[in-house]
Copies of this chain bind each other. A is one copy, B any other.
Amino acid sequence: MSLKCEVLSTGDEVLTGQIVDSNAAWLADRLGSLGLEVVRHLTVGDDRADLEGAFREIGERADVCVCTGGLGPTVDDLTTEIAARVAGCGLKLDQPALDRMQILWQARGRPMPENNRKQAMIPDASEVLPNPVGTAPGFTMKLGRAHFFFMPGVPSEMKKMFTEQVVPRLDKLRPEPSVFEVKVLRTHGLPESKVDEILDGLENQFPGVKLGFRAHFPEIQVKLTVKGADIASAKQVLKAASKEVFRRLGAYIFSEGQSIEEVAAELLTMEKAKISLAESCTGGLIGEMLTSVPGSSAYFDRSFVTYTNTAKHEVLGVSEAILNEHGAVSEACAKAMAEGARKISGSRFALSATGIAGPTGGSAQKPVGTVFIGLATPSATFVRKIFFPGSRTQVRQITAIAVLDMLRRHLLGLPVEASRFEALPLEETKG
């Protein structure tokens, strides 16, 4: 049995939506990695009755609760007072915490405001959790059957206190040495339902493995979790299961963690190759992605965002014949754009994208979501048509990942146009 754990966030700012609660996700991820079973996140505001209710109910049903917020110096900060009330105890001064706070204020060259003294008071029944970063200490105590860990809401202080003070105490509480191993495989090119279908039966094939899917448009992520008695056996099971996932999904997996632009960046850097771009419907998105990776000057040369036909002709040398006969959204234009960008820049590779992102501009022959993407290489130019009838943002995002994935496949020697799943062209990809 693993310990049942709840994550409790307190504070009006989180409750009213003024800030997004990233602490809860961070804590849940860490707790899961430690082998605790996170069963709930709860958020309540700076309200005496709501805090008391939350402490009492969690004390009845959980083994562990990590709680953030409400340890500050203002009248809104009620966590300590309410924890003491629920425990039926008073407050005590933690002298080392007070000393530390006074030193910090002296360093700022000002006397400590009197209301800050409140932050050094903790419940009688609790043990202090020193704060290595900020002023307010945390504390830990039992409320009901649950071990509560109270920490500040400021993410930098909370993370350090959790890592240094809470983790060692959780290790002692854990009843058995079960471990969790996790792997996330990122795929592009198949809809979630198809990925699900292809991986059918995997959990039965590898007992102890839990399979999960996450649709992060425009990609589908496959998550494998293994729970085992020791790290070595868990790792072994995970290795075997991921090998089977790779066997089944093949080239649709583009990474075990990196984004598609990081994968492309790494492959280009390894090849010592430069790339240039000819973008139309993506408006700069592909360049933005490729240059978001630190060190991108090693492989990124330039991008021509040619939005108008005139710009495609003047800048990239797309012929008027192509633009008049085939139009800007055509296989011929995508080919000419990629080849033009490659020739002008002198870079080894060039990518292109031209299409109709919508919401207007579509026609019966070329509806919104029709895009042609190109890859020019020293030996050949590849062009693919993709079709995804989604929003303007979605069409642009799927175009960018598709063209970067085409580059990845080429750099890895995988087929760019064909694939293991001929029946599933890219048009069916969805988040």
Contact = CB atoms under 8 A, between A and B. Distances in A.
Interface stretch (A18-26, A121-129, A332-340): A18-26
B32 A24 contact: no
Contacts of A18: 25, 29, 212, 214, 223
A30 B16 CA distance: 9
Contacts of A296: 283, 307
Contacts of A378: none
Given A15-B41, A42-B41, A279-B284, A392 B25 contact: no
Contacts of A74: 192-193, 196, 213
A300 B284 CA distance: 12
A104 B191 CA distance: 14
**Which among A277, A283, A297, A359 has the highest number of chain B CB atoms within 10 Å?**
A283
A285 interface: yes
A307 B311 contact: no
A109 B41 contact: no
A197 B15 CA distance: 25
Given A284-B288, A288-B285, A32 B16 contact: yes
Interface of A: 9, 12-22, 24-30, 32, 38-45, 50, 72-74, 76, 104, 107-110, 113, 115-116, 133, 154, 156, 192-194, 196-197, 212-215, 217, 223, 277, 279, 282-288, 290-292, 294-297, 300-308, 311, 315, 345, 358-361, 387, 389, 391-393, 396, 427-428, 431
